[in-house]
Structures are given as structure tokens and as C-alpha cells.
Structure 1
Amino acid sequence: MSNITTIIPTPSTFKRTALVIIGAVIFSVNMNSFVYAAELFPGGFSGISLLIQRASFKFFNIEIPYTFLYFALNAAPVFISFKYIGKKFTLFSLLMIVLSSLLTDFIPSIKITDDLLLCSVFGGILNGLAISCCLHADATSGGTDFIAIYFSEKKGTDMWNMIFGMNICVLAAAGFAFGWEKALYSIIFQFSSTQILNELYRRYQKITLLIITEKADEIYSIIKSSTNHDATRFTGTGCYKNLQKTLLYTVVSADELGSLARELKKCDPAAFINVLKTKEILGRFFTRSKD
């Protein structure tokens, strides 16, 4: 597959800002309605911040603002992101970090339910929604999301399950310090969040398309112009009518599939398209870089 650099439209500044603000609000409301109320640990740097905050109050009777801890932990990832991932990407991520931290400290805690399982599941869903808003704005919510994006860009595959594994370590520490019940429910919270991310943000997931068509040139032109991915052409004979057919083979990102499939069917309504989930790509694959 081609790795030629091209200019592919990114979300507008207004759209990105709106998505980040929405993500920050959802994140903060979730922290104060489910996470704080149920005393869960969400994992990542937000979980580490809460762990330090609660440990300092429990063992030393010292209250440390969540904002201060979250800013301090994100300092190194922000620098790495600015240098190696993208400047605008980092600036929008900083906006998310600042807004979510300030809103978390100022929005009052609201207990919606006392059921720990409901808090874990729905809190995880809201957490996944908040992070997804940021990712669709080409930004992150900070912390381990920077790590996930960095390695996803390098390896070309999504790393959310790896981050989930890292978060288990944070939750294990919380279990030792504050009891295993809340830590185990926090794992459910984190699992729910990871599943939402895997469903809503699919940029690093790969899809293989096998397209049988009589309009191979037009179909290839759409693939190339829409995604900047190449394709391989095979010719053969359809057994039913004994007519010559062309098979185009290509691999695209999962988030490109919806719009691309509509364009392909518009070009050739008779095209037969087989969509296969691709586990791994070994070789060159174009990925739009962060701005």
C-alpha cells in the first residue's frame, strides 16, 4: 500500500473546539456523578490523580486539588506529543486537559445511583464517549491517551487494549490501598470505556475490501482520491455467466469505510464488495499524520 504523503481534510477548528468542549463536559460530569460518587478509580492519569488525592487525604489528611495533580502528571506526555505527534493536536489536547480539570473541580458532585455496578458500567460508557469526542477532534483527554496515540501512530494498530492492561496495574494499587471491591468495580468501568472506544473510534483498525466490478478504473479512481490508498487488480471469469470480471484488492482504515462504500456503490451499483476485518498489516500503509 502507498505511503505517499497527501493533504486530507481535517476537522475544522470550530468543530474540533466544539467536540473538545463537549468531551470535557461529559468527562467532568461523569467524574462527579459516577466516579466520585461511587469512589471508583477510572484508570490512566485521571485514576492516578485520584489515587494520590485520596491517599494523601486518608494517610496525611492533606487535600490536593485534582487539577494540580492532573497537570503535573501530564507535563511530560504533553512535551512528547508536541515534539513527536503534532502541534495542533497537542494544543487541542491541552484545551481538553485544562477544561476537564477545572470543570471537575468546580462542578458539584451529584449521586445518581448507589448501585456500584450501574456506576461502573454507565460511568465507563460516558468516559468512552468523552474520550471519543476528543479523538474525533484530533485531540486526546491527556495522560495514557497520549501514549496510546503515539504507539498507534508508530505501529499502525489501535492500542486501547494495551492501555487497559496498564490501567489494571493502577487499579491493583488502588485495591491494596483502599480495598478490592471498589478496585474490581473500577476494572468494569475501564472495560466498558475501552469497548466504547473500540466501537466509536476506528482509525487504527484496518478493513480489507475485495471488489468485483466491471468499472475497475472508476472504482480505483475513487479509492485513490478518497483515501490515498492503492489497490491491486486481478482479472478472472465469472462462473455463472462466463463473463470477464475484475477484482480490486485494497486495505483502508475502518473509519474510511462508510463514506467510501457509499461512493463505490454510487459509481457501480452492481459491484460485489466483500468487507473483511484485517488483524494486522505488514508493509507500507498510508496514515494521515497529526497536524
Structure 2
Amino acid sequence: MINKKTKKDLFTLICVIIGALIMAVNIKTFVRAGNLFPGGFTGLTVMIQRIADEYFNVSVSYSFINITLNAVPAIIGYKTIGKRFTIYSCLMILLTGIFVDFLPSTPLTYDPLLIAVFGGIFNGVGIAFALRGKASSGGTDFIAVYLSDKLHAPAWNYVLGLNAVMLVVAGLLFDWNQALYSIIFQFVSTQVVGALHVRYKKVTVHIITSKPDDLSEKLMIYTHHGITRFEGHGCYSNQPRTLLYTVISTEELKEVIRFVHLVDDKAFINVMKTNSLEGRFYQEPIN
């Protein structure tokens, strides 16, 4: 019987491998075909490769540059975010580099707008896979995750601003068209990550139940979130009913609904999007 920790590590490993493969294929299929800079340390790596190639006529390994650049953020991530998160993020950096160095170049299109849009989508999906497994693609992702944990809100748009600065430099050194299309690429990627990564999004859950004592006690232990209880009367059933009110993260929602129905299979659940939240809120640690 596989224990919970082993399952968790296996799930993370699968997410990291899939994410690394998607990002590598994206680089060899879209990014290189459009001479784009995908943002973050991946984009900085590509930019350094192009500087070495065009200005010094030297071919430099993607893996070598990418691992070197990520060394400092990895150390910071290890100290501020956590050991497990950093180790798996480093594994993704390593795997992405290996895949990029060994996969053949297979461009699907040379249309810069198609490359910017679909390349951005693939890039965002690759990052989202890593984040789903509680890892990252490294570089500026360490910054985004750190800020998101501190702010309890998505910080990917802040990283988009940092990437825009790098892309301006790319425009000055190479070609403004490529740099501007790269900004589109990065914007699309950021929006995809924001849509798929729901860790910092909140929902309000209203549960009407006839088993309030049992459900509230078990649910608080299961989620570590506080619950407020309101007593009422069911107009249709003409029976006493209790409303349990709680706020959880969106990524917890499916499991919470499943758990509630295990305790009370007749519970009525209403879920509402939470746009803003003030006060204490338990966020499950990344590690």
C-alpha cells in the first residue's frame, strides 16, 4: 500500500516531467521558430544564447546557462519557500534543459502572431503543470510563488512587468518585432497560468445540513478553516436546518464537496466566488 507522502511525491514528479516536456517542446516548436523570448529565466537563457551566437559566434548549451542563472533564485527559494518545492523546481529546470538540448527542432508555423499566442498557451500550461504538483519552472516563478504566498493572491502580473523590462532590452539588442511579439507571448502565458493555477483563489461555501454538529467538527479538522454556524428553518421540509458558512481555496473545493457528502449525503451546498478577503485565512503550505 502506497502511503500519502509517496503518492504526493509521485504526483509531483509526474507533473514536473510533463511540465518540463511541454516547455521544451514549446521552445523547439514555437519559440525558436519565431525567434521569441519566452520571458523569465527561460527567455533570458534564450537571449544569452542569441547574444553569444550573433555577437560572438559562439554556441552555448541551453542547460548550462539556464542552470547557472537559476542557482541564486533556487537558494533563495530553498530558504523562503521550502526544501521540497525547490528540489522539484530544480529537477524541472534540469529536465527542461535536457529535453531542449536533445529534442529535434520541429516548427509548426512561422507566423509570428500564431507563435506568440499558441506558444504562450503552451508555456502557461507547462508552468501550470509544475505549479499543480507544487513545483515551478524556476527563475521568476520563484519570485511569483514567494510573492503570492506573502500576499495570499496571484502575483503573476508583477512578473509580467519584470519580463517586459527584459523584453525591452531584447528589442534594443535584436528586433523590436520579436520583442513585441514576445510581450504578447508572455501576456498569454500569464493569463493561462492565472486561469489554471487556482491555489490563491477563494470561494465562499454555504452548506445547509441536518447534521451540523458532526459535519462542522469533522470539516474543521479536514480543512483547518473556521466555520460560522447559523440556525434556521426549512420552509419546504418544515424542519430545523443549520447553515454552515466557510471560505476555502478553489483548489480545495472538489475535495471539500466530496467530504461533505460523505458525512451528510443530503447536504445542500452553494458555492460563491470570493473576490476579496480580509482577516486570517489558513493556506496549506507548499511543502
Q: Which among 210, 216, 229 is matched to residue 220 of structure 1?
A: 216
In 2, the alpha carbon distance for the partners of 1:164 and 1:11 equals: 33
1-side partners of 2:219 and 2:121: how far apart? 34
Q: How does 1:98-109 map to 2 (within 5 A)?
A: 98-109=94-105
1:111 aligns with one of 107, 116, 121: 107
Amino acid at match of 1:129: V
Q: Which residue of 2 aligns with 1:51?
A: 47
- Give a deviation string over 1:130-185, Cα, whole Å, max 9, x none: 11221122211100111111112222222122222222222222222222222222
User: In the alignment, does 2:25 pair up with 1:29?
Assistant: yes
Corresponding position of 2:160: 164
1:175-230 deviations in whole A, cap 9, x for unaligned?
22222222222222222222221222211111111223332223323422332212
User: Which deviates more, 169-178 or 28-37?
Assistant: 169-178
For 1:150-161, list aligned pairs within 5 A.
150-161=146-157
The letter for the 1-side match of 2:130 is C
Provide the rounded CA distance (Å) in 2 between the counterparts of 1:164 and 1:194. 7
Q: Aligned AA for 1:22?
A: I
CA–CA separation in structure 2 for the residues paired with 1:285 and 1:69:
40
Partner residue, 1:181: 177
CA distance in 2, matches of 1:263, 1:17: 26
State the distance in 2 between where 1:276 and 1:45 align. 37
Structure 2: distance between partners of 1:198 and 1:219: 32
Deviation of 1:289 (Å) = 1.8
What displacement does 1:269 show? 4.8
CA deviation after TM superposition for structure 1 residue 36, in Å: 0.7
State the partner residue of 1:137.
133
Q: Distance in 1 between matches of 2:88 and 2:129?
A: 12
1:286 maps to 2:282:
yes
1:84-141, CA deviations, whole angstroms, 9 ceiling, x for partnerless residues?
Answer: 2111221111111111112212222111112222222221121122112211222111
1:201 aligns with 2:197: yes
CA deviation map 1:220-265 (0-9, x unaligned): 2342233221211122345666654322111111100012123324
Q: 2: distance between equivalents of 1:245 and 1:164?
A: 48
1:280 Cα deviation from its structure 2 partner: 3.1
> Aligned residue for 1:62?
58
| Partners of 1:32 and 1:107 within 8 A in 2 | yes
Give percent identity, aligned residues only. 47
2:35 corresponds to which of 29, 36, 39:
39
Q: Does 1:261 align with 2:257?
A: yes
TM-score, L = length of structure 2: 0.90
**Structure 2 unmatched runs, 5+:** none
CA distance in 2, matches of 1:9, 1:279: 33
Question: What's the Cα RMSD here?
Answer: 2.2
* Paired AA for residue 134 in structure 2: D
Aligned partners of 1:176 and 1:78: how far apart in 2? 29
- Separation in structure 2 between the aligned mates of residue 150 and residue 256 of structure 1, nearest angstrom: 20
CA distance in 1, matches of 2:232, 2:168: 57
Change (3 A) 1:269 1:14: closer
- What one-letter code is carried by the residue in structure 1 that aligns with 2:251? D
| SS class of match (1:69) | helix
Asked whether the 8 Å contact 1:21–1:99 carries over to 2, the reply is yes
Runs of at least 5 residues in structure 1 that lack an aligned partner in the other structure = 1-7
> What is the rounded CA distance, in whole Å, between the counterparts of 2:268 and 2:15 in structure 1?
36
How far apart, CA to CA, are the structure 2 residues paired with 1:229 and 1:36? 46
TM-score (norm 1): 0.88
Q: Distance in 2 between matches of 1:199 and 1:94?
A: 24
Amino acid at match of 1:66: Y
Report the CA distance shift for 1:245/1:187 in structure 2 as closer, same or farther (over 3 A): same
Secondary structure of 2:216's counterpart equals: helix
Deviates more, 1:219-228 or 1:246-255: 219-228
